[in-house]
Amino acid sequence: MTEESLVTTAQRLQPQLLDHFMNLINEQRLAHAYLFNGADGTGRQQIAQVIAMRLFCQNVTAEGLPCGQCAECRRIMAGDHPDVVTVVPDGQRIKVDQVRYLKSEFTKSAVEGNQKIFIVDQVERMTTGAANSLLKFIEEPVGNTVALLLTANKNLILPTILSRTQIVDFIRVAPSALAEALATAGVIPSQRYLLSTLTESVQAAKALTAEDWLKNAQVSVGQWFTAVCAGDERAFVRVQTELLPLATNRDLQGTILDMIVQAWHDVLRQQNATLADDQLAFPQVAKLSRQLAQRLSVDRLVAIMTLTLETRSQLAGNMNFQGILEALTLQILAQIPR
């Protein structure tokens, strides 16, 4: 992504938020700590970078935006500005060494001016100890600093951090706009609705469809779902033989869990109305979903949905993925009338 397209993308995704922050900077009313809460694809990273560019830009436009052309803007885009410190997870977590680096940087004065900005993406991946360490510097900022903490799920953030930052909730991308973008990207109709529930980023959607990963996952989750709904205990075996091979890293494990949530959400949504196949995450098991919607009570479905939703927090708590799925399978089998 070029510097020019970065500003354009931020304007397209979050025009009101972009205007708001540009005005805050112009009026010198920027707070020292924000939590940007928004799903992937809603523009939280782009807005954070444009804020950094605007703080250092040498040729601000007449509209009050960073030019994207000057040396300062280019250095920030290249990740080469000493007063713009960016941290992203190293693997699955933000590690101790990264937090030590952050802490050391927080205590330093700006190198080239009087301003310093910190951008920490996926802050929910910090350990509790690391997050508490970061909290100290949010509470006691040194000099003219701004901390932008970015997350896709503020519910996973420590309450102490939530209470000491200004929370900015990013507007979700309109489903129609995302569906159109997915169609333009060549995503087949049977995968579009499912993808729209998993991500709001076309780039992330393309990554999931690469090498038929989503196609295979959609089939495997659908087969697991069919077995569970039939009360077939072989669903337990499918966890190891079909689902585990697809979940090769923590992110994909989370995606599998999210897909299972959507399989049951298809059923719940059809309690009061029959939906077209293209409005379902798993159109290949649409007939079964409709049958279950009539067969199971709302209370039973809500209980199953609660079980599926809890799996995400279990994964975030570093529980074993296979154990999570096997326990979920047994719990749902117990809920299905024979």
* Domain ranges across the chain: 3-169, 175-335
Q: pLDDT > 90: what percent of the chain?
A: 54
What CATH class has 3-169?
A: alpha beta
**Tell me, what's the pLDDT at 3?**
37
Q: What global pTM score does this model have? A: 0.63
Q: Which residues contact 183 (CB under 8 A, 6 or more apart)?
A: 189, 192
**Tell me, what's the pLDDT at 4?**
38
| For residue 105, pLDDT beyond 90 | no
Q: Residue 195: is it exposed, middle or buried by C-beta count within 10 angstroms (0-12/13-18/19+)?
A: buried
- Any idea which architecture 175-335 has in CATH? Up-down Bundle (1.20)
CA 100 to chain centre: 25
> pLDDT for 317-329, tens place per residue?
778 999 999 999 9
* Average of per-residue pLDDT values in the chain: 88
> pLDDT for 40-63, tens place per residue?
778 899 999 999 999 999 999 999
| For residue 216, pLDDT beyond 80 | yes
> Rounded to an integer, what distance in angstroms lies between the CA atom of residue 60 and that of residue 45?
20
> pLDDT for 254-299, tens place per residue?
999 999 999 999 999 998 888 999 889 999 999 999 999 999 998 9
